[in-house]
Amino acid sequence: MRQITVAVVQMQNELCQVTNNLRRMSEFVDAICRERPTDLIVFPELATTGFECGVRFTDLAEKIPGHTISLLAQQAAGYGTHIVFGLPIKERVESILYNAAVMIGPNGEVIGDYRKVHLRGEEHLAFRPGFRYPVWEAAFGTVGIMLGWDLAFPEVARSLALDGAEILCLCACWEQPFGKEWQAMVLTRAFENSIFVVAANRIGQEPSYTFAGQSIIVGPRAEALTAMDNTAEGYAVATLDLDEVRRVREEYQLFQLRQPITYRALVRRY
């Protein structure tokens, strides 16, 4: 068995207060890893800044590597864990920003970053959309990342799964009153791809939003391995057997029975 321990963090971010949010994230990493050795910790989308920063994203966004990544890389190396978290990033041209997530490895190295493809609402005013769905080989297996509204598009999880992902890390700022939709789609993405989903959603309020929480870790049979409510900060931990992905895929044959030649409409512009 390829057993690993993963943790999902549900936190209330302070809007535009990077230092305070980083301190809170660091405290969560300490608490989780002192409780037990942990292979992977997943934080919400835009964990360092909050969601409704508007034009301030230009000042808050970081290049990779940057201060935030360096700080969390020290903790990842100190505890020998992987950390996935959301943050705004910038390119050399500092007006080009992305809503992104970064994966840091147990040696403190940046394994990779993902730029959110499916932007929603006012996100279009601050960020450019990404255009790739990368997967990375971690020490324990193959990982893909989704951000927020990506969850609503089945093609994202399927693309990552077809490229070999065994775990999907979902970092989100998913708002009320769409908590039931969140739960339904997380379970569905896990089942339809026979994959583990580690879904971290934030809680709290900002000027226009109340966030839904309900962070969860789901197995490839759509079984909830952990669950959190929509009000409390905290974290949940689960032990995963990554060999279960192969076993369930062989049992259900969801990939082998696909008929891609009949799916031409999926890549047609609406």
Tell me what percent of the residues of the chain surpass a pLDDT of 90: 93
Q: Are 186 and 157 in contact (CB under 8 A)?
A: no
Alpha-carbon span 126 to 90, nearest angstrom = 11
Across the chain, mean pLDDT equals 96
Q: Which of 116, 130, 54, 125 is nearest to 87 (CA)?
A: 116
pLDDT for the residue numbered 270: 77
pLDDT for the residue numbered 43: 98
Alpha-carbon span 57 to 50, nearest angstrom = 10
Strand 234-241 to 97-104 pairing: unpaired
pLDDT for the residue numbered 130: 97
The residue type of 247 is R
Phi, psi of 42 (to 5 degrees): -120, 130
Tell me what percent of the residues of the chain surpass a pLDDT of 70: 100
Q: Is the pLDDT of residue 230 over 90?
A: no
pLDDT band at 231 (very low <50, low <70, confident <90, very high): confident
- pLDDT 10s digits, 115-162: 999 999 999 999 999 999 999 999 999 999 999 999 999 999 999 999
Count other Cβ atoms within 10 Å, centred on residue 110.
Answer: 15
Q: Is the pLDDT of residue 93 over 80?
A: no
Bond from prior residue into 65 cis (ω within 30 degrees of 0):
yes
Q: Are 55 and 18 in contact (CB under 8 A)?
A: no
State mean pLDDT over 184-191.
Answer: 98
Distances (CA, A) of 232 to 83, 84, 140, 174, 215: 21, 21, 30, 15, 10
pLDDT for the residue numbered 91: 87
Q: Are 270 and 226 in contact (CB under 8 A)?
A: no
State the DSSP H helix or E strand holding residue 260, giving kind and residue range, or none if neither: none
Q: Is the pLDDT of residue 26 over 90?
A: yes
pLDDT for the residue numbered 147: 98
Q: Is the pLDDT of residue 94 over 90?
A: no
State mean pLDDT over 40-66.
Answer: 95
Domain 3-267, CATH 3.60.110.10 — does that match? yes
pLDDT for the residue numbered 269: 83
Q: Is the pLDDT of residue 92 over 90?
A: no
pLDDT band at 95 (very low <50, low <70, confident <90, very high): confident
Sheet with 142-147, strands from edge to edge, namely 135-137, 142-147, 167-172, 196-201, 216-218, 224-227
Residue with tokens 């893909």: 144
pLDDT for the residue numbered 184: 98
Task: Answer whether 0.85 is exceeded by the pTM.
Answer: yes
141-168 burial, b at 16+ Cβ within 10 Å, e below that, comes to: bbbbbbbbbbbbeeebbbbbbeeebbbb
Q: What is the CA radius of gyration of the chain?
A: 17
